[in-house]
Chains A and B, each alone.
Chain A
């Protein structure tokens, strides 16, 4: 093997990679946060006794589970602007896609978390005269959310990986920055290796934080691991 490694391009352009990483983090965080209330609304709709409402929410979740996120992204970037007759920026299309995708997954976590609580919690809340909304807000959700935190973080990590698809519509996140650098410098081996390493280190750190949090929650009596 006679390839001679040369990391000059990395040391000269690390600021571009850092900006890319910042954009990746922004895209993930923003779509995850926006997906939370949407996901909760979907979960409540799915748990609703009205068949039409829960059916519709179920379809929404299944749709996002059963189609590749890349198709969704292309649809929002290329098809939606034609239907609405407006311009959609790459950043907006990516944010929209990832938010809706995230809400579908978050909805399932909320639903599982709410359903996992003992029925006695509902009965108790009702017995002291709370309405459905009050019981949900004051008794059920606070307990359910604590159990769900580690699963939410796992989902956020998955979302971070999925956010790399934004590169295909030229949103300047980390992978796009890498493609740009590699094309300009002809140093694809160095650039892609370093970027893969950055992703790996970032995601492993996030998983470690999640694991530690999980252990602490388990110790405080809110078991998420069995």
Chain B
């Protein structure tokens, strides 16, 4: 019994680390994704091209590959150490930002040109059109796509275990190796992820249904 309690404590710490990585990566990805997404929509090619390159690069390199790159390759280029935490958060943030940028761009593009024309006819500046008319409508449409990506991000955090960052997956692996109980440990680990992520999946279904009703 005491053994079970100790295990639960260790797993809880691991789960907390998992949440920490996910939240940190989200906090970085939201602003970066919005800026890059706006850049892709810019009329100046000096913003548009770098933004497109950013999106294509980080969307097309598998996250595990960029985690490895940031952990094993990047430190050779820079004069400072890169912790496993930093490498994981960096790789996850860049990947998620690229996807957020695409969602953001598609959301703005989905607003009918009449909305822009109408706002301009009222004498609004480009910034006002964007801030008061386009963004409020676009963001509502983007919410289900954002939450879907957030769910992906939560799942991808498990990849940090491959560079020995002690989140839930790594903790599970260590215990399973030490106690020879892979069946129990990996099943419990799966259930913990399910308990964290499943409610979010349900919430996304609800959001998608609501969005479908609004556009219908």
B209: min CB distance to chain A, Å: 13
B65 and A164 contact, CB distance less than 8 A: yes
Identify the stretch in B115-123, B134-142, B183-191 within 8 Å (CB) of chain A at 4 or more residues.
B183-191
B61 and A63 contact, CB distance less than 8 A: no
A162–B63 Cα distance when bound, in Å, is 9
Contact with B along A109-120 (1 / 0, CB 8 A): 000000000000
B61 and A200 contact, CB distance less than 8 A: yes
Contact with B along A90-130 (1 / 0, CB 8 A): 00000000000000000000000000000000000000000
Kindly state whether residue B11 has any CB partner on chain A within 8 Å.
no
A164 and B62 contact, CB distance less than 8 A: yes
A74–B183 Cα distance when bound, in Å, is 10
B72 and A182 contact, CB distance less than 8 A: yes
Kindly state whether residue A86 has any CB partner on chain B within 8 Å.
no
Kindly state whether residue A170 has any CB partner on chain B within 8 Å.
no
Contact with A along B62-97 (1 / 0, CB 8 A): 111110110011101101000000000000000000
Tell me which residues across on chain A come within 8 A of B156, comparing CB atoms: 68
A192 and B68 contact, CB distance less than 8 A: yes
A193 and B73 contact, CB distance less than 8 A: yes
> In terms of DSSP, what is the predominant structure of the interface of chain B?
helix
Kindly state whether residue A215 has any CB partner on chain B within 8 Å.
no
Contact with B along A168-198 (1 / 0, CB 8 A): 1000000100110010000011011101100
B182 and A79 contact, CB distance less than 8 A: yes
Q: A179-B68, A196-B61 are in contact. Are A188 and B186 (CB under 8 A)?
A: no
A71 and B169 contact, CB distance less than 8 A: yes
Kindly state whether residue A204 has any CB partner on chain B within 8 Å.
yes
A29–B56 Cα distance when bound, in Å, is 23
Interface size class on chain B is 35 or more
Tell me which residues across on chain B come within 8 A of A191, comparing CB atoms: 73
A43: min CB distance to chain B, Å: 16
A3–B68 Cα distance when bound, in Å, is 19
Kindly state whether residue A143 has any CB partner on chain B within 8 Å.
no
Q: A79-B182, A179-B68, A188-B76 are in contact. Are A70 and B194 (CB under 8 A)?
A: no
Kindly state whether residue B162 has any CB partner on chain A within 8 Å.
yes
Q: A199-B62, A200-B61 are in contact. Are A71 and B77 (CB under 8 A)?
A: no
B182 and A71 contact, CB distance less than 8 A: no
Kindly state whether residue A72 has any CB partner on chain B within 8 Å.
yes
* A3 CB contact (under 8 Å) in B76, B158, B169, B198: B76
A175–B69 Cα distance when bound, in Å, is 11
B187 and A79 contact, CB distance less than 8 A: yes
A199–B156 Cα distance when bound, in Å, is 18
A residues contacting B by CB (< 8 A) are 1, 3, 62-63, 65-72, 74-75, 78-79, 82-83, 160-162, 164-165, 167-168, 175, 178-179, 182, 188-189, 191-193, 195-196, 199-200, 203-204, 207
Give 8 A-B pairs besides A66-B200, A67-B197, A68-B158 with Cβ atoms closer than 8 angstroms.
Answer: A63-B194, A71-B158, A74-B172, A75-B187, A83-B183, A160-B62, A189-B76, A189-B77
